[in-house]
Chain A
Amino acid sequence: QSALTQPRSVSGSPGQSVTISCTGTTSDVGGYNYVSWYQQHPGKAPKLMIFDVSKRPSGVPDRFSGSKSGNTASLSISGLRAEDEADFYCSSYAGSYTLVFGGGTKLTVL
């Protein structure tokens, strides 16, 4: 159950777009379509932004989108806003009834 690999940080200016990657293996990201993304503001509980690779829960703006290619999943955020600044985590089903998270990415809105 090794953690998925995410960049430690990404940044962008208001209105711009950013993409956060999440790299795993054929045993997790590449093997299943159970990839989720979470946003966590400081001192708060995580919030689900994307599930099943590319589905948005109700209430999540369509500025947030997810995709997957091979063993790498991606979260894209368009039209960056100051309130998007937060930590983002990916997760994936990893087989054998276990789940693994990524190490997290800090998004800075410049």
Chain B
Amino acid sequence: EVQLLESGGGLVQPGGSLRLSCAASGFTYSSYAMSWVRQAPGKGLEWVSGITGSGVSTYYADSVRGRFTISRDNSKNTLYLQMNSLRAGDTAIYYCARTYTTIIWDGFDPWGQGTLVTVSS
């Protein structure tokens, strides 16, 4: 069974940092691009960042570029999101998601259960 399990969320002060992890299982991890998608409380979905299967290429939304860094460790089947200079507007549930096919823009499935990040003083 394909599974994604996020961890690392929590409460952090504005300006602080947090690193999210997403452990993958049930598929050949290095063959698939991965992404982070967030959802603010009661709001819609927002794509945050993506990374190719090899990890060579990374992509970011304008809202997080320069503050967030996506990476992956294919030996550990794990995806990461390093979040720095956090703002109140970054408060959201963060989902990791696998690309459905091997093409990064081909839709995301499956998704993890999400991890909540709250930025507040």
Chain B, range 102-120, C-beta contacts under 8 Å to A: 105-114
Task: Report whether A89 and B45 are in contact in the complex, using a CB–CB cutoff of 8 Å.
Answer: yes
Number of A-B residue pairs, CB cutoff 8 Å, is 69
Count class of interface residues, chain B? 20 to 34
Residues of A within 8 A of B109 (CB): 47-48, 57
**Quick check: is A65 within 8 A (CB to CB) of the other chain?**
no
Residues of B within 8 A of A36 (CB): 106-108
Per the bound structure, the CA–CA distance linking A85 and B109 in Å amounts to 20
**Quick check: is B62 within 8 A (CB to CB) of the other chain?**
yes
A51's nearest neighbour on chain B, judged by CB, is: B107
A-B contact pairs, 24 of them (CB 8 A): A1-B61, A3-B44, A34-B106, A36-B107, A45-B95, A45-B111, A45-B112, A46-B108, A47-B111, A48-B108, A51-B107, A52-B106, A57-B107, A91-B47, A98-B47, A98-B59, A98-B60, A98-B61, A99-B47, A100-B47, A101-B37, A101-B45, A101-B46, A104-B44
Residues of A within 8 A of B (CB): 1, 3, 32, 34, 36, 38, 40, 45-48, 50-52, 57, 89, 91, 93, 97-104
Residues of B within 8 A of A (CB): 35, 37, 44-47, 50, 57, 59-63, 95, 100-101, 105-114
Residues of A within 8 A of B47 (CB): 91, 98-101
Per the bound structure, the CA–CA distance linking A45 and B93 in Å amounts to 10
Given A98-B47, A98-B59, A45-B105 contact (CB < 8 Å):
no
19 further interface pairs, Cβ-Cβ under 8 Å (given A38-B45, A98-B62, A100-B47): A1-B62, A1-B63, A3-B44, A45-B114, A46-B95, A48-B100, A48-B107, A48-B109, A51-B100, A51-B106, A51-B107, A52-B107, A57-B109, A97-B57, A99-B61, A99-B105, A101-B37, A101-B46, A101-B47
Per the bound structure, the CA–CA distance linking A104 and B42 in Å amounts to 11
